[in-house]
């Protein structure tokens, strides 16, 4: 999965979309987030300094805190730096 994402052919057309898709896969693989948690995630729920993600209303209506590794932290920072381009 990571080899496919990091293949230059997958991102040459739209850098924003590539970084977004990479972030989605990394959130699932490295943080164990569910699809609904990823789609509902807000930027203010990510603490980059402490490398934590605050998940509100997770499965069963519970909240939880997830620690993220440096790879995911860097990937998310790269993605939010890129201006949105829907081409």
pLDDT for 16: 82
Instruction: Please tell me the pTM assigned to this model.
Output: 0.80
Q: Which band of pLDDT confidence, cut at 50, 70 and 90, is reported for residue 73?
A: very high
**Cβ-based neighbours of 48, under 8 Å, separated by 6 or more:** 73, 76, 77
CA dist., res. 52 & res. 35, Å (int): 18
Residue 12 has pLDDT above 80, yes or no: no
Domains and their CATH numbers in the chain: 2-81 (1.10.443.10)
Residue-wise pLDDT tens digits, 44-55: 999 999 999 999
């Amino acid at each position: 999965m990571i080899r496919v994402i990091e293949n230059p052919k997958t991102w040459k057309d739209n850098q924003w979309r590539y970084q977004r898709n990479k972030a989605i896969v990394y959130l699932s693989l490295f943080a164990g987030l569910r699809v609904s948690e990823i789609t509902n995630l807000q930027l203010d729920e990510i603490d980059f300094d402490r490398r934590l993600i605050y998940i509100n209303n997770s499965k069963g209506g519970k909240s939880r805190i997830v620690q993220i590794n440096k790879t995911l932290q860097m990937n998310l920072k790269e993605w939010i730096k890129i201006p949105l381009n829907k081409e």
